[in-house]
């Protein structure tokens, strides 16, 4: 019994110790599994984060290249040009197909999409305004911008790569190139297991990328009303709603979903996308199962069959070994996939990548490096990097860059010149990091080279342009100084008076003649108004005429009377508006010429002309009276004698009687001609009955002589000075003579009316008209005489004529006051 008890106790102790040991082993194994899983998740998350960073930046170089295409610049400057539009669309299509992007498009400086590779699709961007997008608002930064958002037109998630477009030599962007890549392609390449969840969230916690589509556009935490309003206003993720994903964050590395499933949580930030995080979730149950299930399978047979403990132990060890081998194979497969992804990114990234070993020999080059340099990978690998540099770059690399790099393990923006296989030289900026061994020695490098040849050429062109601009500025300054001297000489020595004012009437500049006339200096009058320095009678004229020019916005020519030491002088002033660089009137200028002597000569000439015409009228009246009284009486007596002869010779000499009758007819015709000549020289009716009756007689005579219909339309007119009446009559007489000679008219209207104290007279015909500017000296004498008569009468003559539209001559004059009204009968009322 004791032995049995001892055996039982030992068995119980063995069972208890085995169970305790197994439990402790299980707990230790589980804890170790969780720690190992945490390390693996951190490593796994780091790899996913690098992959995401690579995917999110893969189009930085292409969009920068797209922004530099000349076709896009041409279309921005000539947006209405169809050819420029076709070329821009071709470039966008080429980039879209080459990069397998979702869409490529071009925006102007207002955010309007001018061209797009999806222009024929229903969800085309052409004509849409995306100025609210951050990638447009930050377009003044000279660096590629990446923006993650839901398309407002297509409703598809996308990665927007943008870069500003600058005019040649310009510093401000006037357009934007955008490449949109699909987010779903990124999700497909994540290659996750079923028990893994990846969440890429924005700063507000909205899930934008995930391998679980049911979690998209949900928030990892409950959004406040203010946060939801901010997300909606940004239009980055549509109009919502963005419900909570119902995750419960137990602690920093433990999260539970709505179904109660526990996950191991790790979080990393995206370095190049501020505020964006990547969350990696792995089921804790999966980790626990990896421990409990093998343990249960191994201990169950031991409890049931202690007799075959060794066999079960061997079997357990075998199963454990097999599981370990499977885990290792899984890890190796994941490692190979990571290496393949790395190799794919290395060779397909549109940048020159290469690696060198500690002996400065190339150990790898990317496809883009080979394409740019013209060497195949086999030709390049194994050769020293310095063989591909120019002599100057080789000396610098060997003496400065390589020693510093292998010492510090880092270099950035090192300027080199590479020599391509065809002998061409390109400028590059090289940045590199070193891969170190356990002894912290640099064993190899990873270098990125950026081709800056075109940028350097642009910088050199800009420098040349600056030098040319400086030279042109100096030439322009010399021309300005020369023109300034010329203008100053003109202002100083011209006999005309010149000044400039601003819109308030303050003087800016006066010339020497102005200073001499008014006795003020340019320095004294600058900033003063007319009333401050000029006589009152001059102030009124200057202010009135300046205001007229400023109100109308055009030049004007006026006469102004200015008192001087030797008396009143008359000036002909040309006033004109002065415009600023924006085309706005900001002042008035004037050039005044002294025409006092000319006015005196004109007045003397006018008085002489008036005296001549008055003498002509008197002479005509005297001749008309002589013709009417003397010659008319003689012809009448001759006619009476001829009639007597005809009557007395009628029976005795019929032939002589017939000759006497012919004499009577000739005498009658001469009497009529003498009367017509006397009437044309000075119509008696004008002196006896007045202007209206004289014009009725003149128009009736004109119609009977020429056969041209002539109508006189008039209103009652008052008695007027003989000078005005004579001028009006002679103007109508000359106008009708011109119609008969030149107009080929069928109808003439003479219109006479009295308005206030003004007499208005017009003669209009429906003839062929003429060009007033093309009249010769001989042809224009009649018109000049009409104008001269109108001026002597104190009136004005206006001629209007157009080819094929007839001619109109209008005479206007002011009547003397106190005249009595007369009718067309000539009797006083």
The pLDDT tens digits for 612-647 are 666 666 666 667 666 656 666 777 777 777 777 777
- Looking at the structure, tell me whether residues 195 and 331 fall in a common domain: yes
Q: What is the pLDDT of residue 178?
A: 92
Confidence of residue 689 (pLDDT cuts 50, 70, 90): low
From 163, 182, 201, give the residue that closes a domain: 182
- Looking at the structure, tell me whether residues 633 and 604 fall in a common domain: yes
Q: What is the pLDDT of residue 762?
A: 92
| Domain assignment present for 485 | no
CATH number, domain of 403, equals 3.30.450.20
Q: Give residue 546's domain range.
A: 494-593
Q: pLDDT digit string (tens) for 722-752?
A: 788 888 888 888 888 888 888 888 899 999 9
Those residues with Cβ within 8 angstroms of residue 183's Cβ, 6 or more apart along the chain or in another chain? 148, 157, 158, 159, 208, 209
Q: pLDDT digit string (tens) for 640-682?
A: 777 777 777 777 778 777 787 788 888 877 877 776 676 666 6
- Looking at the structure, tell me whether residues 692 and 675 fall in a common domain: no
| Domain assignment present for 463 | no
The tokens for 365 are 């080059």
In this structure, the strands spanning 173-182 and 262-269 are unpaired
Q: What does residue 331 show for φ and ψ, rounded to 5 degrees?
A: -65, -40
| pLDDT at residue 325 greater than cutoff 50 | yes
| Domain assignment present for 28 | yes
| Domain assignment present for 465 | no
Q: What does residue 240 show for φ and ψ, rounded to 5 degrees?
A: 85, -170
At residue 803's C-alpha, the angle toward residues 802 and 807, to 5°, is 50
What is the residue-averaged pLDDT of the chain? 80
Q: pLDDT digit string (tens) for 269-284?
A: 888 788 888 888 888 8
Contact 430, 400 (CB under 8 A): no
In this structure, the strands spanning 758-765 and 747-755 are antiparallel
Q: Which of 271, 285, 279 is nearest to 252 (CA)?
A: 279
- Looking at the structure, tell me whether residues 196 and 335 fall in a common domain: yes
The alpha helices in 526-570, defined as continuous H runs, are 530-533, 536-552
Q: What is the pLDDT of residue 293?
A: 63
The tokens for 353 are 């990548």
Q: pLDDT digit string (tens) for 764-796?
A: 999 888 877 666 544 455 777 788 778 777 788
- Looking at the structure, tell me whether residues 32 and 153 fall in a common domain: no
Give SS3 for 99.
Answer: helix
Average pLDDT over residues 232-256: 84
Structural domain count, the chain: 6
DSSP-derived secondary structure letter, 776: -
Q: pLDDT digit string (tens) for 365-412?
A: 888 888 888 898 888 888 998 888 999 988 988 888 888 888 888 888
- Looking at the structure, tell me whether residues 583 and 603 fall in a common domain: no
pTM recorded for the entire structure: 0.38
| Domain assignment present for 476 | no
- Looking at the structure, tell me whether residues 506 and 556 fall in a common domain: yes
| pLDDT at residue 203 greater than cutoff 80 | yes
- Looking at the structure, tell me whether residues 27 and 1 fall in a common domain: yes
- Looking at the structure, tell me whether residues 219 and 279 fall in a common domain: yes
Average pLDDT over residues 15-35: 66
The tokens for 44 are 């796994």
What are the beta bridge partners of residue 175? 108, 165
Q: Which of 219, 226, 282, 272 is nearest to 247 (CA)?
A: 219
**E strands in 700-740:** 709-714, 717-718
Average pLDDT over residues 476-502: 80
Those residues with Cβ within 8 angstroms of residue 503's Cβ, 6 or more apart along the chain or in another chain? 550, 585, 586, 587, 588
The tokens for 316 are 């357990």
Q: What is the pLDDT of residue 743?
A: 84
Q: What does residue 529 show for φ and ψ, rounded to 5 degrees?
A: -100, 170
User: Kind and range of the H or E element at 428?
Assistant: strand 425-436
- Looking at the structure, tell me whether residues 572 and 618 fall in a common domain: no
Q: What is the pLDDT of residue 2?
A: 45
- Looking at the structure, tell me whether residues 97 and 122 fall in a common domain: yes
Average pLDDT over residues 507-516: 85
Confidence of residue 186 (pLDDT cuts 50, 70, 90): confident
DSSP-derived secondary structure letter, 673: H
Q: pLDDT digit string (tens) for 410-457?
A: 888 888 889 888 988 988 888 888 887 777 776 788 888 888 888 888
Average pLDDT over residues 192-214: 84
Q: Write b or e for each residue in 601-614: b if 16 or more Cβ atoms lie within 10 A of its Cβ, otherwise e.
A: eeeeeeeeebeebe
CA atoms within 13 A on the CB side of 609: 16
From 144, 164, 182, give the residue that closes a domain: 182
Report DSSP letters for 111-156, one per residue: SBEEEETTTTSTT--TT-B-TTSHHHHTTTSSS-EEEEEE-TTT--
The rounded distance, in Å, linking the Cα atoms of 458 and 168 is 9
The tokens for 383 are 């050769």
Q: pLDDT digit string (tens) for 110-164?
A: 889 989 998 888 888 888 888 888 877 776 556 678 888 888 888 888 988 898 9
Q: What is the pLDDT of residue 179?
A: 92
* Secondary structure (H, E, C), 324-338: HHHHHHHHHHHHHHH
Higher pLDDT among residues 505 and 11, named by residue: 505
- Looking at the structure, tell me whether residues 508 and 579 fall in a common domain: yes
From 137, 165, 182, give the residue that closes a domain: 182
| Domain assignment present for 468 | no
């Amino acid at each position: 019994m004791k032995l049995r008890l001892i055996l039982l106790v030992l068995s119980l102790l063995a069972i208890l110790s085995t169970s305790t040991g197994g439990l402790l082993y299980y707990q230790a194994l589980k804890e170790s599994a969780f720690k190992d899983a945490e390390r693996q998740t951190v490593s796994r998350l780091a790899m996913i984060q690098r992959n995401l960073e690579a995917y999110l930046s893969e189009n930085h170089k292409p969009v920068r290249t797209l922004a530099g295409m000349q076709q896009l610049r041409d279309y921005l400057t000539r947006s209405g040009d169809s050819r420029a539009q076709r070329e821009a669309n071709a470039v966008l299509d080429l980039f879209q197909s080459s990069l397998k992007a979702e869409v490529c498009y071009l925006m102007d400086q207002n955010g309007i999409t001018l061209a797009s590779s999806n222009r024929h699709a229903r969800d085309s961007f052409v004509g849409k305004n995306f100025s609210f997008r951050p990638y447009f608002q930050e377009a003044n930064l000279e660096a590629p911008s990446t923006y993650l958002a839901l398309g407002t037109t297509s409703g598809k998630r996308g990665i927007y790569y943008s870069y500003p477009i600058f005019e040649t030599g310009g510093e401000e962007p006037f357009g934007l190139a955008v490449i949109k890549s699909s987010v779903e392609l990124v999700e497909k390449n994540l290659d996750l297991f079923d028990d893994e969840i990846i969440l890429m969230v924005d700063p507000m916690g909205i899930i934008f990328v995930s391998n679980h589509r049911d979690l998209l556009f949900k928030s990892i935490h409950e959004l406040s009303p203010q946060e939801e309003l901010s997300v909606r206003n940004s239009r980055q993720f549509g109009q919502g709603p963005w419900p909570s994903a119902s995750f419960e964050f137990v602690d920093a590395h433990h999260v539970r979903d709505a179904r109660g499933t526990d996950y191991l949580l790790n979080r990393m930030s995206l370095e190049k996308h501020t505020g964006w995080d990547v969350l990696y979730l792995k089921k804790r149950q999966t980790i626990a199962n990896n421990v409990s299930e093998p343990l249960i399978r191994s201990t169950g047979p031991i409890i049931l069959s202690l007799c075959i403990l060794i066999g079960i132990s061997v079997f357990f060890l075998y199963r454990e070994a097999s599981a370990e081998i499977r885990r290792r194979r899984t890890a190796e497969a994941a490692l190979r996939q990571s290496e393949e992804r790395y190799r794919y990114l290395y060779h397909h990234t549109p940048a020159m990548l290469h690696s060198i070993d500690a002996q400065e020999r190339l150990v790898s080059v990317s496809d883009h490096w080979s394409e740019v340099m013209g060497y195949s990978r086999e030709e390049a690998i194994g050769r020293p990097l310095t063989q591909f540099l120019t002599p100057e770059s080789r000396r610098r690399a060997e003496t400065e860059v390589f020693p510093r790099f292998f010492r510090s393990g880092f270099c950035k923006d090192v300027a080199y010149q590479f020599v391509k296989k065809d002998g061409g030289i390109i400028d590059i900026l090289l940045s590199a990091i070193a891969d170190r061994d356990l002894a912290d020695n640099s064993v190899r490098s990873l270098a990125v080279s950026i081709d800056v040849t075109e940028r350097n050429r642009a910088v050199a062109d800009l420098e040349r342009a600056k030098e040319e601009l400086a030279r042109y500025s100096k030439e322009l300054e010399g021309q300005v100084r020369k023109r300034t001297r010329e203008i100053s000489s003109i202002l100083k020595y011209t006999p005309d008076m010149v000044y400039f004012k601003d819109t308030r009437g303050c003087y800016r500049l006066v010339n020497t003649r102005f200073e001499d006339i008014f006795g003020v200096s340019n320095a004294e009058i600058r900033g003063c108004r007319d009333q401050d320095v000029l006589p009152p009678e001059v102030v009124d004229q200057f202010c009135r005429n300046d205001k007229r020019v400023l109100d109308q916005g055009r030049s004007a020519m006026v006469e102004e009377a200015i008192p001087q030491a030797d008396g009143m002088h008359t000036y002909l002033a040309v006033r004109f508006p002065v415009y600023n660089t924006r085309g706005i009137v900001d002042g008035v200028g004037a050039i005044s010429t002294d025409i006092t002597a000319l006015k005196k000569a004109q007045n003397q000439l006018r008085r002489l002309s008036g005296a001549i015409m008055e003498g002509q009228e008197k002479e005509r009246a005297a001749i008309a009276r002589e013709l009417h009284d003397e010659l008319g009486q003689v012809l009448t007596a001759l006619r009476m004698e001829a009639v007597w002869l005809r009557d007395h010779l009628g029976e005795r000499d019929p032939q002589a009687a017939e000759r006497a009758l012919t004499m009577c007819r000739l005498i009658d015709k001469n009497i009529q001609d003498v009367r017509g000549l006397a009437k044309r020289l000075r119509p008696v009716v004008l002196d006896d009955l007045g202007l209206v009756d004289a014009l009725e007689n003149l128009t009736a005579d004109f119609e009977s002589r020429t056969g041209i219909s002539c109508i006189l339309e008039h209103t009652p007119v008052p008695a007027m000075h003989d000078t005005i009446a004579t001028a009006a009559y002679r103007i109508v007489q000359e106008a009708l003579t011109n119609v008969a000679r030149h107009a080929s008219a069928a109808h003439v209207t003479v219109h006479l009316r009295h308005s206030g104290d003004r007499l208005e007279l017009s003669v209009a015909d429906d003839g062929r008209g003429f060009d007033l500017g093309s009249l010769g000296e001989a042809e224009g004498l009649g018109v000049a005489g009409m104008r001269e008569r109108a001026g002597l009468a104190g009136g004005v003559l206006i001629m209007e004529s157009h080819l094929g539209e007839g001619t109109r001559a209008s005479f206007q004059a002011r009547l003397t006051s106190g005249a009595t009204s007369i009718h067309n009968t000539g009797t006083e009322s």
